Amino acid sequence: MTGKFSKVAINEKSDKYDVCISRVTPLSRRENEVRSPFTRDYTRILHSRAYSRLKHKTQVFFATQNDHICTRIEHVNHVSSIGVTIAKYFGLNEELVLAIATGHDLGHAPFGHSGERYISAITNKYLNETFWHEKNSLRFVDEYETLQDSNGFDCNLDLTYGVRDGIISHCGEVEDEYLIPRNEVIDLKDVLMASHYSPYTWEGCIVKMADNIAYIGRDIEDALRLKILDEEHIDELDKIIHTFYNVDIKKTNNTALIHTFVSDLCENSSPENGMRFSTHHLDFMKEIKKFNYEYIYYNDRLTVFQNYAELILNSLFNVLLKFYDGVNTIDYINQNFIEIYPELSKTFIEKLRRYSDMGNKEPRRDTLKNVILYRLENRQDFIKAIIDFISSMTDTFAIKMFEELTSL
C-alpha cells in the first residue's frame, strides 16, 4: 500500500476537514458515540428507505426476472468496493469514500437513465427545469429522506458537506485526461449540471472514477447473459479487446476489467498529476463505452422496454396531475380518486401529509420534524411533489401503479 495521497486525505489535519464535516443542521451527539462523522453518514444512508429501494431499480435492464442481472443496489455496492480499495491503497479516507459511494444514486429514477430522460422531459415542460439524478440524489438526502431519531421524531438525514458534495459531483462519465478536486467551497444547490464542478475532495474524485469503472464490464456481462449481444457483437468486442490486450474475450469478465482499470489508476495517479488512467487504458475505456452504447444501450430489444417505461411514467404523471385542487387537494383526492386508484391515491396522500403544509387545513403530525417541501396553494409545488413521488419509485412499484391505472 503506497499511501501516496495520505497527506491530502480528509482527516483532522486537513485544511478542508472542518468544511467537510459541517452540516446544515447539526446532529445530536450521544456521549458514547463511537462513529466518525462520515461513518454516521454512511449508516444514516444505509438505514434510509431510498437505499432499500435501490434493489428494485434498474441499472440497465428493466425489471428483469433474471436474479443475476445487476440492479442499482449492486452497482452501488460495486462502486463502494472499488472506491474503498482505491482509497486504502492511496491512504485516503475510506469512511468518506464509503459514505459517498453508498449514497451516490439515492435519487436515481425508476427505469435507469431512460427513466431519467423521460422525467426530465416532464420537468422541462412543466417546471422549466432539467431533471438529473445527481441533483435529485442531493435533494433526496437533503430534504426528502427521513430517519426516526431516538425521540421518535422523523428528521432529515442532514449529511456532512463532504458526503453531499461527493454525491452531486459523482457523475461517472470521466473523459478528461485527469481529475483533481476543486478548492472552492460552493453552495451545492447552485450546481447546475452534472460534472459542473470537480468534487471538493480526493475522496469524491475516487467515487467519480469508481462509478466509471464499475459499470462498463458488468453491462457487457449482463447483455451476454440476456442474449442482447449475438456472435457478431461478440466478435466486434473481441477485436476491441485484442487491440489493447492479447486475451480471450471468453476469459474476460467484469472482475478482470475492474482489476485492469483499478491497477492502472493506482499506478498512474498522484497528487501532483491528478487521478488518471494511462493514455492506453483511457482509450481502452472509451472504446468499450462506445461499444456499449452502440450495441447494448441502443439495442432494439431495449427500445421496447424504453417505450414501455416512457408510457408508464407519462401516464402516472398525467393522472397525478388531475389530483390537484389547490389547498383542497387531499380532500379532492379522497372524494374523487381513492376508489378508482386506491393504492396510488393512498400512497400519494401519505407523501403529501409528510412533505406538504396540507393546505393549512389540518395540523402536521407532531412527530414530523422534516422540512416542508410543498405549499399546496402553489401548483408548481404540487408538480414538484409528483416528480419527487415518481422519481422515488422502484421499477416494480411504478409498473404496479400503472397496472392499477389500466385495470377496469
Whether residue 97 is found in the same domain as residue 209: yes
Q: Which of 272, 298, 324 delimits the end of a domain?
A: 298
Last residue of a domain, one of 241, 266, 298: 298
120 lies in a domain?
A: no
Same domain flag for 229 and 353: no
Answer whether 329's CB lies under 8 Å from 348's CB: no
CA within 13 Å, CB half, 295: 24
Q: 377 and 362 in contact (C-beta within 8 Å)?
A: no
Distance CA 303, CA 62 (A): 11
CA distance 103 to 46: 8
Judge if 285 and 328 occupy the same domain: no
In this structure, the dihedral spanned by the alpha carbons of residues 166, 167, 168 and 169, taken in order and rounded to 10 degrees, is 40
Q: Are 11 and 89 in a shared domain?
A: yes
Q: Are residues 264 and 346 in the same domain?
A: no
Full-model pTM: 0.95
Per the structure, the complete domain to which residue 352 belongs is given by 301-405
Same domain (yes/no): 15, 74:
yes
- The DSSP-derived string for 118-181 is HHHHHHHHHTS----HHHHHHHIIIII-EEE-TTS-EEE----HHHHHHHHT------SS-B--
CB neighbour list of residue 30: distance below 8 Å, 6 or more residues apart: none
Q: Which residues contact 118 (CB under 8 A, 6 or more apart)?
A: 109, 111, 309, 310, 313, 314
> How many independent structural domains does the chain possess?
2
Q: Which residues pair with 356 in a beta bridge?
A: 374
CA torsion sign for 126, 132, 134, 140 is positive
Amino acid at 24: V
176: CB partners within 8 A, 6+ apart = none
| Residue 406 neighbours by CB distance under 10 Å | 8
- Give the pLDDT of the chain (408 residues) as one tens digit per residue: 579 999 999 999 999 999 999 999 988 777 778 899 999 999 999 999 999 999 999 888 876 677 888 889 999 999 999 999 999 999 999 999 999 999 999 999 999 999 999 999 999 999 999 999 999 999 999 999 999 988 899 999 999 999 999 999 998 566 678 899 999 999 999 998 887 889 999 999 999 999 989 988 888 888 888 888 888 888 888 888 888 876 555 555 778 788 889 999 999 999 999 999 999 999 988 998 999 999 998 888 888 889 999 999 999 999 999 999 999 999 999 999 999 999 999 999 999 999 999 989 889 999 999 999 999 999 999 999 999 999 999 999 999 999 999 987
- Among the three residues 234, 265, 298, which one is the final residue of a domain in this structure? 298
CATH code, domain with 263: 1.10.3210.10
Rounded Cα gap, residues 221 and 69, in angstroms: 9
Could you tell me if 289 and 360 lie in one domain? Answer: no
Instruction: With respect to residue 117, please indicate whether it lies within any of the assigned structural domains.
Output: no
